[in-house]
Amino acid sequence: DTSILGVESHPLHLHGYNFFVVDQGFRNFDPNKDPAKFNLVDPVERNTVSVPSSGWAAIRFLADNPGV
């Protein structure tokens, strides 16, 4: 969401899936530092997450729905 110039959070939704929100943050995602903070033990399960304005959200899901 760092490329969207707005003051509101941006919703992210995956049709046909629930997913786990393992982390969220402000600023650009840092692949060297941010993954160390991921909650892989008991993350919250959702079907929609608000990505913070000027921020990011990391989700985890199993892509096992082939659709119709």
The answer to whether the predicted template modeling score (pTM) of the entire model surpasses 0.85 is: no
SS3 content of the chain, % helix, strand, coil (to 5): 5, 35, 55
Rounded distance between C-alpha atoms, residue 33 and residue 51, angstroms: 19
> DSSP code of 17?
-
Encode burial over 24-56: b for 16+ CB neighbours within 10 A, e otherwise.
bbeeeeeeeebeeeeeeeebeebeebbbbebbb
Give 5-45 pLDDT, tens digit per residue: 566 677 888 888 899 999 999 888 999 999 999 999 999 99
The answer on pLDDT for 3 being more than 70 is no
Amino acid at 60: R
Question: What pLDDT is stored for residue 10 in this prediction?
Answer: 79
